Amino acid sequence: MPQIAQRVSQSTKKSYGMYDRARKLAATGADLIHLELGRPVDDTPDHIKQATIDALRAGHVHYDDMQGNPLFREALASKLASFNGINASADEVLVTNGLTQASFCAFMALLNPGDEVILLDPYYPQHVGKIELAGASCVRVPLDAANGFSIRADWIEAAITPATRMIVLVNPCNPTGRVYSREELQSLADVAIRHDLFVVSDEVYEYITFDAPHISIATLPGMRERTISLFAFTKAYAMDGWRLGYAVADTAFMPALRTIATSAVTHVNTFIQYGGIAAVNGPAQRLEEMVSTDRKKRDLVVSRMNQMPGVRCASPEGTIYAFPDISDTGIAAQSLAERILDEAGVVVEAGSFYGASGEGHLRICFGSQTEERLSEAMDRLARFFNDRVD
């Protein structure tokens, strides 16, 4: 039999965490509450749907500009200036199928086989497979739980070798919920500049911050020209199924990014980009309501989890995830997540799924359920932790 390509069989991306185990259990009729997938519970706002339907009816059904609809890219350039403080022209924006395609383009366009890429551990695991598909390898630099998972520039610097080419930053951070401060970002930027590295900055949770403002690392001095900033409509606009995102980079990199993008899918769906225009130009109130609901859910999860024996839950500054410390239970995170699924019917991820530094933690997505259902999940978890027999 012919064999599949080595680049696929050698990739370490073999698992979707608890997803498969939960699916099997759900097929037996179990009543599960899903707090594992980062899928917003809300519906996409009506004005976005209506603009998309209007575009479809108006005949926007053909190939558009390969880099993305020019009107859409203009709207994104305005948003980048007003919300992120990034001065980018429409030519420096590439529209993609979600952030996933944007990151794939960045890794494939910028990495050579043998290159090393620094990930801050805990990290977003889906980046790993793409980096490895590009022939590069991941160097995991631990963040310290005892230090609130802050960026340690000295640890990053210690991991740099002549093969290091890039640092991947996820800010706000999935899974820890950290929103990095200007000082932390500056310390990382200093290392990137000193060693002439690219930074790929995944900002899919840019709007979902509770206590600290989101800062795009591309706005720091000397960073714009070496940073590929990645965004998507996925989380804040509850558009995960639409598949709409974008990459922002210096024009020098755009031909390479476009080459990769168009090799895989040629274009992003034409009429959906009109929904994107409506989202960007639409009322800010919708985003504010969404963040305020997520804040309530965050507060609920943090206060409930801190009452459970063996659990210490820091308050995430952003994202839709809590990352409680369960090390006092003495049970490994994966075993605990499996027991919670089997015994309490709640699906959570083991922190160790996000790297060695995530051991001793669970990742709980509070944005994926209504407040009522989240509250029921907390009741189930409270029963589990109170009754737990080791």
Q: Which residues bind ligand PLP (CB under 6 A)?
A: 38, 98-100, 124, 170, 174, 202, 204, 232, 234, 240, 245
Residue 218 CB, nearest approach to ligand PLP (Å): 17
Name which of 99 and 261 has its Cβ closer to ligand PLP: 99
Nearest Cα residue to 351 out of 314, 389, 304: 314
Name which of 216 and 234 has its Cβ closer to ligand PLP: 234
Name which of 35 and 308 has its Cβ closer to ligand PLP: 35
- The separation between the first and the last C-alpha atoms of the chain, rounded to the nearest angstrom, is 48
User: Sign of torsion, CA 127 365 95 212?
Assistant: negative
User: CA-to-CA distance for 52 and 102, rounded, in angstroms?
Assistant: 22
Name which of 245 and 304 has its Cβ closer to ligand PLP: 245
Would you tell me how many other CB atoms lie within 10 Å of the CB of residue 118?
27
Name which of 245 and 355 has its Cβ closer to ligand PLP: 245
Name which of 177 and 360 has its Cβ closer to ligand PLP: 177
Residue 161 CB, nearest approach to ligand PLP (Å): 26
Q: Report DSSP letters for 165-176, one per residue.
A: EEEEEESSPTTT
195 burial type by CB count under 10 A (0-12 exposed, 13-18 middle, 19+ buried): middle
Residue 231 CB, nearest approach to ligand PLP (Å): 9
User: CA-to-CA distance for 360 and 378, rounded, in angstroms?
Assistant: 19
Residue 355 CB, nearest approach to ligand PLP (Å): 13
Q: Do strands 362-365 and 321-322 pair parallel, antiparallel, or not at all (unpaired)?
A: antiparallel
Name which of 207 and 385 has its Cβ closer to ligand PLP: 207
Residue 96 CB, nearest approach to ligand PLP (Å): 8
Residue 347 CB, nearest approach to ligand PLP (Å): 15
User: CA-to-CA distance for 216 and 202, rounded, in angstroms?
Assistant: 10
User: Sign of torsion, CA 318 322 323 326?
Assistant: positive
User: CA-to-CA distance for 298 and 319, rounded, in angstroms?
Assistant: 9
Residue 386 CB, nearest approach to ligand PLP (Å): 31
> Alpha carbon of 275 to those of 41, 212, 269, 286: distances in Å?
19, 29, 11, 15
**Residue closest to ligand PLP when measured from CB atoms:** 98
